[in-house]
């Protein structure tokens, strides 16, 4: 049993750190040709990282039948399903376009990168982008619902309501922004988007603060875990790296705290949060 706990906690820490490393070395989508091996390696392994991240949510919500635990598992499952679809089409697909283009006689690296960038734009901002937005909504729900489970807060209902509100807002706003970028070929955020994103992040951390008020778990890792919301913006670069480092530290800390306290008391009522 002890070995099983240590193995689980090791996975909680190691996999997000791998995700952070991938984010740090993630090539820019317009320079894939000269970093094709790195691009393909990262994106071929990303689905396995996503599976492990999803398993982390299931681990912290194990043996709990409260509404929060069900929402966390459903949110994580939605994240996994839709983000893997997006990742296979966008990440792996772009790599395969470059791989195929590099074998066409007469095409230089700039031409191949141009074709790959056009394909990446189509996947990133076209109709398929909705899958990434739905996945992001699931990620937000999984994060806040897990916070409710581990804190055993009496304020579960408002926190879960905020989680649903943020998930719907993120999904709709993300689809609208992607559609604008797709039609205008301007990838910068519209002026109204940044205040919306800032407001969502503020509300997200307010929800964590509400849960932390009467938390039976340490409060610090709750806010550290909250950094993982940045994953809804990007899984690459500094943003993706910070998100995964926060996820690794927060999840591992909470799992240790959970392992060293009495099991969460479950209720017979199916809608108990």
What digits encode the pLDDT tens for the residues 55-77? 999 999 988 899 999 999 999 99
Mean pLDDT across the chain, nearest whole number?
90
pTM for the model: 0.91
- The pLDDT assigned to 109 comes to 86
Domain ranges in the chain are: 2-259
Provide the CA 205 distance to its chain's centre, in angstroms: 16
**Structure tokens given for 226:** 């909250």
Residue 112 has pLDDT above 50, yes or no: yes
Other C-beta atoms lying within 10 Å of the C-beta of residue 113: 22
Averaged over 254-269, what is the pLDDT?
A: 62
Percentage with pLDDT > 90 across the chain: 73
- Which pLDDT does position 2 carry in this prediction? 39
Please determine, for residue 25, whether its predicted confidence score (pLDDT) is greater than 80.
Answer: yes
- At 187 the pLDDT is 83
- Contact present, 139 and 121 (Cβ < 8 Å): no
Q: What is the pLDDT of residue 31?
A: 83
Is the pLDDT score of 82 beyond 90?
yes
Residues 6+ away with beta carbon under 8 Å from 123: 86, 89, 90, 93, 94, 129
pLDDT of 272 reads 55
Helices marked H in the chain: 2-25, 36-60, 67-87, 93-101, 109-125, 129-151, 156-184, 193-212, 220-226, 237-259
């Amino acid at each position: 049993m002890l070995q099983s706990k240590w193995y689980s906690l090791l996975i909680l820490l190691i996999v997000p750190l791998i995700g952070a490393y991938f984010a740090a070395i993630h090539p820019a989508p317009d320079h894939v040709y000269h970093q094709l091996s790195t691009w393909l390696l990262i994106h071929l392994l990303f689905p396995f990282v996503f599976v492990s991240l999803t398993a982390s949510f299931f681990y912290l919500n194990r043996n709990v039948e409260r509404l929060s635990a069900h929402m966390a598992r459903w949110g994580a499952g939605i994240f996994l399903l839709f983000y893997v679809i997006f990742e296979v089409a966008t990440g792996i697909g772009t790599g395969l376009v470059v791989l195929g283009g590099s074998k066409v006689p007469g095409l230089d690296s700039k031409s191949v990168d141009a074709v790959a960038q056009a394909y990446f734009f189509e996947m990133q901002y076209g109709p398929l982008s909705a899958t990434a937005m739905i996945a992001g909504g699931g990620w937000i729900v999984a994060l806040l619902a897990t916070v409710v489970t581990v804190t055993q807060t009496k304020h579960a209902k408002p926190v879960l309501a905020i989680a649903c509100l943020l998930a719907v807002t993120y999904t709709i706003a993300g689809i609208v922004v992607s559609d604008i970028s797709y039609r205008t070929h301007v990838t910068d955020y519209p002026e109204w988007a940044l205040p919306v994103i800032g407001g969502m992040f503020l509300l997200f951390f307010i929800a964590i603060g509400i849960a932390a008020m009467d938390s039976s778990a340490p409060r610090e890792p709750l806010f550290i875990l909250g950094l993982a919301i940045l994953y809804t913006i990007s899984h690459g670069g500094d943003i993706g790296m910070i998100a995964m480092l926060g996820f690794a530290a927060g999840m591992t800390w909470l799992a240790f705290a959970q392992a060293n306290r009495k099991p969460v008391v479950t209720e017979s009522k199916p809608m108990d949060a």
